[in-house]
A and B are shown apart, each in its own frame.
Chain A
Amino acid sequence: MVAEFAAIETRDLTKIYPGFWKSQQVQALTNLNLRVRQGEIFGLLGPNGSGKTTAIKLLLGLINATSGEALVMGQQAGDQDTRRRLGYLPEESYLYRFLNARQTMDFYARLFNMNRSQRRQAVDYYLDFVGLDPAVRGRRIGTYSKGQTRRVALAQALLNNPDLVIMDEPTSGLDPVGMLEIKNMILRLKAAGKTVLLSSHQLADVEDVCDRLVILYRGRVELEGALSDLLEVKDVFQLEARKVSAELQAKLVEMTNAGGAEDIQTGRPRVRLEDLFKRLVDAKRRGEPGAGSARR
């Protein structure tokens, strides 16, 4: 059997930020062992200060590991050739404020040695892809809203059509519609065979898109596994149906009781506020009357 090729693999990866005194040292990451398969969406969860961003910076070679090893696409983390196949969306949009969106994208495209026509195509394509308003593309990034800046940052991360996309808090600063678009985009990336490493403390984001995840706490792995395995409540059965009359409901409860089931709960399902909001905004955009009630 051929071993499955891992997009990311870390072995006992540890990072200690040094201080002047030993007491000032910070152990940001302790013996992290990760294995991200190709083509999956992998979630890196944890509260603030749990080491998510540190782990990503180590994978990108932006900082040096204190000990342990990190392999990205089979090469040592930080390898220049490997970075050609990576896209990175930082947690804040660290872009040059004095450049406009096109100049920014052109700059990063040059770092991938794209020629003029390739650059022009890629810049327009990815700015369209992230939905940046063409009217603002010639303005300096310093004048952009947070959401617009985030879109440019996302576009630069996808510019080289990467095999592995690392996203650090991808939805931060975006409105709910933008968040949904990003999540859809992540799913499209997966459908295109890309690997996505997603770091977030927005649990809903992770839940919606991730195949597997790891939860970090104070630099250590606390929980790891497939989302479906982790979230499924094994000993509870759920039934959903439309047009169920009151009599039928009563019969069902009675039958369940008779069958020996415990902790029976009945009620109407709720849609998530996020879905309701999206449906409303979509309807408004299409010029339809408001979709006021919750529907599935």
Chain B
Amino acid sequence: MNHHPGFDYIAISAYAVIGILVVAFVLLAFRDVGRLRTGIFRAWAIGRTTIAEAWNARIWAIVPIWFVICLIISLLVRPYSAASQVEIYLTILLRAQLVMLLVYLGILACVSLPRERERRTLITTGSKPISRLELLLGKVIGICAAGLAMLVLMTAITWGFMVVINMHIKHDAAVLYEHEQHSYNAMVRRIPPEPGVRYTARHGVLQAQNYYTGTLRIAGLINYQTNPPERALKGGSSETLYFEFPSLPAQVVSPPVFLLHFTVLRLNPGAKPNTSAQQTAAVLPPVRIHITAVLRDNPMVTAQQSLTLSPNGTAEWRPKHWTNFFSLYDPTTGRLFDPGPVLLKVTSPTLGAYLFFGAGTKAQPPACLAFNLDRSRAPAGVMIPKLNPVITGFKSNNKQEIVGPSYSHPGIPAEVASFEFHHLPDKRIPIGKHGNFTVHLFLSVDKQENEALPAIADITAFTLADPAHPFRMQVRFAEKHLTVLKLPKSLLDESALVINIQSNYPGHWIKLTQNSVQIVRPPSSFIVNLAKSEFIIFCEVVLLVVIGVTASARLGWPVAMLTTMVCYVLGNLFHFVYKLMILGGFGLYGPYIDSKMKGLWYYQIGSFITAVMVKMLYALVRLMPDFTRFDPLHDIIISRNLPWIVPVVDAGWTLACALPILALGYLLLRKQELA
């Protein structure tokens, strides 16, 4: 059977299995489900007894054990700064909570039902008017309630512990600030105290800050003299330029030809001052680009190629395996149908190369054209992509650098990091007494030259509606410290706000991430934020408990424990196994396989067997809940407020995963003999 490469039939099959399970449950359990209106009280009775059982099994002991372990680890770890102190302590406390609860409640879930069978208490309980569904639900409810009680206790202790730590941090910051201020006033110190230290001394570090984070549009060169501003793709970075062609593929017989054209600017770090562009081009290797074509609506369909740009900045690409783009077959019409828009992604691995590209306007012709197309789609056989191609390349924790002005190339300006913020009037940005709003910067600097000079960033802020009147300022920033900016509220209009950052001194490379510039919104309560993180831990624990109880419906407790553990591990390997399957067969070993080997029969057989095994593993993983989505530490450790949507979605996800698992548990227990 020839499947389309973008069709994840394993996932569909897994969903079908889950669907069958749910349908079987609905058909067989409708009476028991109907009785749940009163049955929920019976389930709660079972739950209460399970709580008593957990208490009798000394569940309370996990709280002191957890706290002692956390204290020992906290004493062994030396935090780098006040901010990292909070990060480390919260990580230790919350991770340890998760591990303790997962282990203890996992064991309890696997043991509770089999132990009732062994002790035969299930005989007496089973003679009462209780259904198997109520029994199953009662066990889950009881174990989860016991876990919740312990979690509430641990949350209270965590909060108390962090409050004590916060008091110490505030005190230390106040002493430090006073000392630095005194030194500065006495002319002993040349640099004034850090505003971040004063902020910490006043407010502490137990905060749940709300920020509005913009999009890092570019970290390279941008020319604001043109309209629209001309931008450049930075070589050697993770920046990607996206050209979008609407419904490009037309027929198998004539794959398109892509023609790309860039204006290339090269840097030669070792060159003498005033070296010409021709001289630079003569000594440097040619510029390489990687091109990937991908169906926008089905990202698994790709074609890719590496190319070298000609000296005048052009390249032509004729994709080899274009047939994949056409293989969407419509059985009703018997014809191939339109697979939707095609994205052409361009990156460059060449360091020191800037590829300026046209926006597709009259003033700036497009940097990419597609030729050799079906006349019904493109009358002239040529298609241009959408205007203003998007440039991205900054993932949340992916650090990027912008280089300051260069001594060797005085004509080339400093690189710019450009952050864009949209829909600001809807964001309830608080305005201060002086008509300003607050922006936080998190920057660090790598000083290649001019090490004695302070780290200073040039800030330019303007709205897209009025780029001709920017607000400019210079700010001094410190490594690993928050820098506070005050910007006028006139910048908050309906159009987008752009904040550009440049390095001021040659040899200063500013390092930043996607979240380096944040507009401050009113903070939330830390305790509520902590509760949200704890809730995510609870969701993960509930899912494991449901798996444990389901596994123990038929299995003895040792096998149930093993099954639950395997489910949890597989649920945590979801993305890893998915990537393995995409690589397929001996493709797992990537470039280490000799290309000559690929033609050999035993290589092909081995590769086939490996691919089948990985697919079987993937099928198994697909049936498991994805545990990787639970991340209770994501925001709280960086003093950020966790949006409400995260715990709400996690709760929904937990419910959606727990229901089919409970359905399976019911089906297993339905005809199980209790005596």
| Residues in A lying within 8 Å of B, measured CB to CB | 57, 60-64, 80-81, 83-84, 86, 88, 90, 92, 94-99, 103, 107-108, 110-113, 153, 156
Contacts and interface: CB of A to CB of B under 8 A. Distances in A.
Interface residues of B, number: 28
A79 B48 CA distance: 24
B604 interface: no
Nearest to B672: A64
Given A86-B127, A111-B129, A112-B129, A62 B673 contact: yes
16 contacts: A57-B675, A62-B126, A62-B673, A80-B35, A80-B129, A81-B129, A84-B129, A90-B123, A90-B127, A94-B120, A94-B124, A95-B121, A96-B49, A98-B52, A98-B56, A103-B52
Interface stretch (B37-45, B328-336, B477-485, B610-618): B37-45
A70 B121 CA distance: 24
A88 B123 CA distance: 10
Nearest to A115: B41
Contacts of B53: 96, 98
Nearest to A94: B120
A83 B38 contact: no
B52 A64 contact: no
B673 A64 contact: yes
Given A94-B121, A96-B52, 14 more contacts: A62-B123, A62-B674, A62-B675, A63-B673, A63-B675, A80-B130, A86-B127, A95-B121, A96-B53, A107-B45, A108-B124, A111-B128, A112-B128, A113-B41
CB-CB nearest 5 A-B residue pairs: A110-B45, A98-B56, A88-B127, A62-B675, A111-B128
Interface string B114-143: 000001111111111111000000000000
Contact of A113 (B42, B56, B122): B42
Interface of B: 35, 38, 41-42, 44-45, 48-49, 52-53, 56, 119-131, 671, 673-675
Contacts of B131: 80
Nearest to B138: A111
Contacts of B675: 57, 62-63
Contacts of A97: 119
Pick from A60, A94, A108, A153 the residue with the most CB of B within 10 Å.
A94
Contacts of B56: 98
A26 to B, nearest CB: 14
B170 to A, nearest CB: 47
A88 B124 contact: yes
Contacts of A86: 127
A96 B112 CA distance: 12
Contacts of A88: 124, 127
A266 B673 CA distance: 56
A152 B124 CA distance: 12
Contact of A111 (B45, B122, B671): B45
Nearest to A83: B129
A64 B119 contact: no
B669 to A, nearest CB: 13
A153 B128 CA distance: 13
Contacts of A113: 38, 41-42
B52 to A, nearest CB: 6
Contacts of A57: 123, 675
B426 to A, nearest CB: 51
Contacts of B49: 96, 99, 107
Chain B CB within 10 Å — which of A57, A86, A153 has the most? A57
Given A96-B121, A103-B52, A107-B45, A64 B126 contact: no
A99 to B, nearest CB: 6
A197 to B, nearest CB: 13
B41 A110 contact: yes
Given A57-B675, A62-B673, A63-B675, A111 B130 contact: yes
